[in-house]
Amino acid sequence: MAGIRLSKLEKETVITFNEAEATANVYSTSDVWIRKIKKIKGHRKFSIGYEVDVPKNWIKVSPPRKVSEKTREAARRNMAKLQSMRKTQGTNPRKTTKKTK
């Protein structure tokens, strides 16, 4: 996109698919998405963006995971315990060490 500067409002990503075809089309003028698209074989360059066709099962929409305060506190305690073990042992306690003869 040499020479063309888009505002954040103009940097868009459009994902299009239908029920009849097995692929989805991804078009973007966003720098982040362009880098992702360029890594995929078969991408096409346009005047101000890139597009690529990908399998529909690559497209996923998922809301953030809801974690209760109780679960969050348990995870916090487990992480503190793990970090404490690492400091005292100097290694990762989850890794198993191979015994050599």
Predicted confidence (pLDDT) per residue in 27-42, tens digit: 999 999 999 999 999 9
Predicted confidence (pLDDT) per residue in 45-70, tens digit: 998 999 999 999 999 999 999 999 99
Q: Which two tokens stand for residue 47?
A: 């005047």
Predicted confidence band at 88 (pLDDT cuts at 50, 70, 90)?
A: confident
The answer to pTM > 0.85 is no
- Residue 27: which of 44, 51, 43, 1 has the closest Cα? 51
Region 79-93: what's the mean pLDDT?
A: 81
Report the Cα 2 to chain-centroid distance in Å: 26
